[in-house]
Structure 1
Amino acid sequence: MTLPENAYHDRLGDYFAQLAGASPYNAHTDRPATLALAGDVAGRHVLDLGCGAGHYTADLLDRGARVTAVDGSATLLRHARDRVGDRAELRRHDLDTPLDFAADATYDGAVCALVYHHVTARAQLLAELRRVLRPGGWLVLSTTHPTAEWLHHGGSNFDDAWVDARLPDPSLTIRYQRLTLEALLGEWLAAGFTLDRLVEPRPLPQLRDVDEARYEKLSQEPSFLAVRLLTSAR
């Protein structure tokens, strides 16, 4: 089986599963902001797309949601299973292919956290999300902030290159595409979604006690962009 390029496999998956649990970026910045945008999910059927090691899935379950969690990495799905047991439906699926496991109008909402910039077939993915969401449904999506990418890589703010970024472990890299704010909003609106809210997540105050330097950095420089998008109540 060909491994999807948009997922974290093997040692990279294990590394990410350990990192995401308590990292300043994931646990203290993106995850709380993303879940806040999801709002009250009690009794709702939520699709966690690119679920990784199941951290968002676990929180959604704890808030009373019924969750279908999807990822292209068998490694990360093993971590997700260890985290949530049989409380959620877990599926392995390449996000660059149609969501053929889901019928039309299946889910009340969807969460797509920090995976969008890894996907090549983004227009197809958005169209599929529109299809599987119920009328009046919502999509909460987070991705890397274009300003953060420009500050890190330099050069042109309008560069849309695919990059292979090295992690603190220099033997590991992640591949993703730099996307401008114009491109991101253009893709979401062209897919037929309506923008409900847009936030630039700040770290939780508790991070100051854990890593004051990282707290100050994340409080002054954007790292992520998160949106709540709505479908029409057709």
Structure 2
Amino acid sequence: MDKATAYHDALGDHFAAHAETSPYNAYTDRPAMLRLAGDVSGVRILDVGCGAGHYAAELAARGARVIGIEGSATLLRHAYARVNGQAGLLLHDLEEPLGFAGDASFDGVVCALVYEHIRNRVQLLGEIRRVLRPGGWLLVSTTHPTADWRHFGGSYFSHDWRDLPIGDSELSIHYQRLSLETFLGELLAAGFVLEQLIEPRPTADLREIDEAAYDRLHQVPSFLAVKLRRP
């Protein structure tokens, strides 16, 4: 991920703190992805774009052997603190091949809310397929296409790159809009087989903390999450 898309410096610090308790991250995307992963005891997992280590820490706590890779040194610093030695972490530009990993060296790959930030997705998917064992699974979550359409307007089928402001801060995240057709089409063209697709809604715990956010996220989709297999 280049300077425009990776969460460096102040953006990385903000995201690390925000993702800890955010209705979107902590109560919607992360629980959904962990449910899709299922029983991971003893499973070798590559966390692609591991961010501040939230997913890696959860997966490791459930018995997985996790390697997390991240293009932002800022986020990786947070990840080291969070996983506390329970997962391996590596600074790696996701626009580059996964040269550190051998063929069929992982049972599962997690790619949570990073896919839309990658420019060379064809290369990344090819590399993920290479490092997955036959029968291994890939979990990918992304911004829901209709959420982007509602926010930015214009054509639903737009593939333009956008900057999304974060709250009242001067920070923004840079990513590409993807239609459902494009998102699934790229994954299938890379040789994966779709096993499950969900539109995550927040867990019941959020209702006790932020009822308005709970109600909103049960009415307006924010993410897509898919589970695929490598034949």
TM-score, length basis structure 2: 0.98
Q: Which secondary structure does the structure 2 equivalent of 1:168 belong to?
A: coil
Report 1:112-131 matches (<5 A).
112-131=111-130
Q: Partner residue of 1:212? A: 211
- SS of 1:117's partner is helix
Name the counterpart of 2:40. 41
Q: Which residue of structure 1 aligns with residue 80 of structure 2? A: 81
Return the alpha-carbon distance in structure 1 between the equivalents of residues 206 and 124 of structure 2: 34
Measured in 2, the distance between the counterparts of 1:47 and 1:189 equals: 20
Contact 1:52 1:76 (C-alpha < 8 Å) held by counterparts = yes
- The residue number in structure 2 matching 1:29 is 28
Q: What's the counterpart of residue 5 of structure 1?
A: 4
**Matching of residue 69 in structure 1 with residue 68 in structure 2:** yes
Q: Which runs of 5 or more residues in structure 1 are unaligned?
A: none
Partner of 2:17, secondary structure, is: helix
**Aligned-pair distance for 1:165?**
1.0
Amino acid of the structure 2 residue aligned with 1:24: P
Deviation at 1:6, TM superposition (A): 3.0
Counterpart in the other structure of 1:152:
151
Q: Is the 8 A contact 1:41 1:63 kept in 2?
A: yes
CA deviation vs aligned residue, 1:32-81 (integer Å, no higher than 9, x gap): 00011111110011001100110001100011000000000111111011
Give the aligned partner of residue 96 of structure 2: 97
Amino acid at match of 2:179: T
Distance (Å, rounded) in 1 between the aligned partners of 2:125 and 2:155: 27
Q: Secondary structure at the match of 2:218?
A: helix
Structure 1 letter corresponding to 2:93: D
Alpha-carbon distance between aligned partners in 1 of 2:77 and 2:169, rounded to the nearest angstrom: 24
**Aligned-residue offset at 1:28:** 0.3
Any idea what the Cα deviations from partners look like across 1:134-161, whole Å, max 9, x if unmatched? 1110000100000111111111111110
1:197 alignment partner in structure 2: 196
The count of aligned residue pairs is 231
Question: Percent identical across equivalent pairs?
Answer: 61
- RMSD over aligned Cα, in angstroms? 1.1
Q: Give the conservation status (yes or no) of the 8 Å contact 1:142–1:225.
A: yes
- The letter for the 1-side match of 2:102 is A
Contact 1:147 1:222 in 2 (8 A): yes
**What is the aligned partner in structure 2 of residue 223 from structure 1?**
222
* TM-score with structure 1 setting the length: 0.97
For 2:4 and 2:228, locate their aligned partners in 1 and report how far apart those are by CA, in whole Å: 26
Offset from partner CA, 1:76-104 (integer Å, 9 cap, x none) = 11101111121111000111111111111
Cα distance, 1:12 vs. partner? 0.5
Give, as a single letter, the amino acid of the residue that structure 2 aligns with 1:194.
V
Please give the secondary structure, in 2, of the residue aligned with 1:7: coil
Structure 1 residue 4 displacement after superposition: 4.3
Task: Write the distance in 2 (CA, Å) between the matches of 1:132 and 1:31.
Answer: 23
Structure 2 gap segments, 5+ residues each: none
1:114 is matched by which residue type in structure 2? L
- Does the 8 Å CA contact 1:6/1:95 hold for their aligned counterparts? no
Deviation per residue, 1:161-201 (Å, 9 max, x gap): 00011111431111000000000111000000000000000
The one-letter code sitting in structure 2 at the alignment partner of 1:84 is: V
